[in-house]
Amino acid sequence: MVELNTGIFTLAGAQQYLEREPELHVDQLSARIWTVCDGVRRTLFVEADSSVIAFDTLATPGAARAYRKAITAAIPGKPVQTIIYSHDHLDHAGFAADLAPDADIIADEMCAKVIGMRKAKGQLLPTQCLSGKRNRLMIDGVGLMLLNPGPTHGTGNLSAYFEHEKILFSSDTLLPNARYGLLPDYHIWNLVRFMRELQQLDWNTFVPGRYEVTDRARFEKGCDFFVAVKVASQQAFAEFVPIWVLGAMEEYVGGKLREQFGDLDGFDENIGLIAIRIVHHYLMGGWGLEDTWNPGVLLADSLTNPSGA
């Protein structure tokens, strides 16, 4: 019997969730770049000369198989030969074994280190690790730049820049809405400063790791919104709002930001949860080494063996 790729789940009943193949929505962004969304997660794939380059795997084994079918339907006759992990999270990059088990896998060295230690079923180890802020690659005739300006979300988060198409892809960082409430593993201290470095590149289309494709103006508003929640969350301390009470934070931060940001989709439903998450950054000090002034110290002991063996 073939061993199932169950990620890190231990409950047999979770298989129903893992195996379901979601309906995917595919759009072509340029002659060779396509985007695909399962209703929440979004990613890219690229037609190369004789193969396909797929970013990420989507969220489950079932979704990874649906992703493979969507690629084949869009680009018949070319196999997925390269997978690029945007970051380590299982809901984006957990299931290469179901997407294309023989593909070359490219990831940032820190991402590779986490994956090697995690040993989730179906999350294949990278075969090529990148380091540094910018890597220009040529893969089967496709030129692209992979960027890791510093810790933003998850570990070893790589953004992709397509200079010719003026497209930027950055997974689980900024969104054109307020629909991602929990913000798990966002590096609150550094997110906006590093994302603003990516604004210096010449692009018109922003492909986030969730929800709809957007543009520079919405990206900028996403940065401003994040900063505004950080300010209002600090004000909540100063005014002795009970910062661990969801309703209280929803009322306080929501009230301060509704006029400027209330038009963001999901604002009313999520502002309380977003504020609770960010308030705890100030309360506790952040996510470890990633949430410091100099997160480059993370790389002081750089990767030599991602398998951890």
C-alpha–C-alpha distance, residues 104 and 130, integer Å: 13
Closer residue to Zn ion in complex, CB, 120/249: 120
For residue 233, the minimal CB distance to Zn ion (Å) is 21
For residue 90, the minimal CB distance to Zn ion (Å) is 9
C-alpha–C-alpha distance, residues 93 and 90, integer Å: 5
108 binds Zn ion (CB under 5 A): no
For residue 298, the minimal CB distance to Zn ion (Å) is 17
Closer residue to Zn ion in complex, CB, 207/236: 207
For residue 172, the minimal CB distance to Zn ion (Å) is 4
Hey, which residues does 214 pair with through a beta bridge? 206
C-alpha–C-alpha distance, residues 138 and 140, integer Å: 7
Q: Which stretch binds Zn ion (CB under 5 A): 108-116, 170-178, 196-204, 221-229?
A: 170-178
Q: Which stretch binds Zn ion (CB under 5 A): 14-22, 25-33, 147-155, 190-198?
A: 147-155
Alpha helices in the chain (DSSP H): 15-19, 61-74, 90-93, 96-99, 109-118, 191-199, 216-238, 246-261, 267-284
Query: Binding Zn ion by CB under 5 A: which of 172, 250, 290, 291?
Result: 172
What type of residue is 4? Answer: L
Could you tell me which of 162, 39, 52 has the C-alpha nearest to residue 91? 39
Q: Which stretch binds Zn ion (CB under 5 A): 7-15, 83-91, 265-273, 276-284?
A: 83-91
Closer residue to Zn ion in complex, CB, 85/252: 85
Q: Which stretch binds Zn ion (CB under 5 A): 11-19, 26-34, 168-176, 240-248?
A: 168-176
Q: CB-side exposure of 43: number of CA atoms within 13 Å?
A: 27
How many of the chain's residues bind Zn ion (CB under 5 A)?
3
Give the residue at shortest CB distance from Zn ion.
89
Residues 6+ apart with CB under 8 A from 169: 43, 44, 55, 86, 159, 160, 161, 162, 206, 207
CB 173 within 8 A of CB 185: no
154 binds Zn ion (CB under 5 A): yes
Residue numbers at the binding site for Zn ion (CB under 5 A): 89, 154, 172
